[in-house]
Amino acid sequence: MRCDIVTIFPEVCGPYLDASIIKRAQAKGLLEIKVHNLRDYCLDKHHQVDDVSYGGGPGMVFKPEPIFKAVEEITQGRPRGRVILTSPAGRLFNQALARELSLEQSLLIICGHYEGIDERVARHLATDEISIGDYILTGGELPALVIADAVTRLIPGALGDEQSAERESFTEGRLDYPHYTRPAEYRGLSVPPVLLSGNHKEIDRWRRIQALKRTWERRPDILNAVELSEADRNILEQIREDKI
């Protein structure tokens, strides 16, 4: 996969993209990710990326010219793929969308800033507007990194243990189960005995119950959005009745 990030603060992205799973995916040749400074595509000698808003109002707005030029030059000679604009007005990012994007050959993410971006970019250049949540950030760099990270984890071969991506939170419509490691007892706090039993069938059942219980308590909206198996529905019924 090829992923390009367009930003006025490229120094923000570099350290994160050069570490951990994203770094290893690049080293394996599974991912090519490049960060581009939007100011390099400005048409004036002052490299101005923004201007005042037509009609008045506070704040500055990203100009369309450097963004169109950046996208056209970066994708020249190859299929453009998905062009993502990070925006609070966009589609809410989730695991399903991450999986959808991971199937693409090319992603280009435009990081917003200031009061906004000229609407012509959203309407005529971007293929997607994506938000990572209902809150305000200084700029689009963090959303771009979130998207890049979540998508990278779903590229086959990016994770050391391929089952990790399959079992992580949200993948099957529920949160992950609780995890424990050594020591078995710490400050009077003990690991659940079932995890020490060696009975893998009971361990799997305990983990499934705990995952469903945690999801029901913390994110019931997730459960409402997926089709549960009959076994899971039975477990949830027992959870609601405080039987397990």
Nearest to 72 by CA among 19, 36, 105, 114: 36
Write down the pLDDT at residue 171.
59
Angle at 211 between CA 155 and CA 197, to 5 degrees: 105
Does this model's pTM top 0.75? yes
Mean pLDDT of the chain: 94
Res. 224 pLDDT band, cuts 50 70 90 = confident
What structural domains does the chain harbor? 2-162 (3.40.1280.10), 170-240 (1.10.1270.20)
Q: Alpha-carbon Rg of the chain, whole angstroms?
A: 22
- The residue-averaged pLDDT of 35-41 equals 98
Burial of 1 (0-12, 13-18, 19+ CB in 10 A): buried
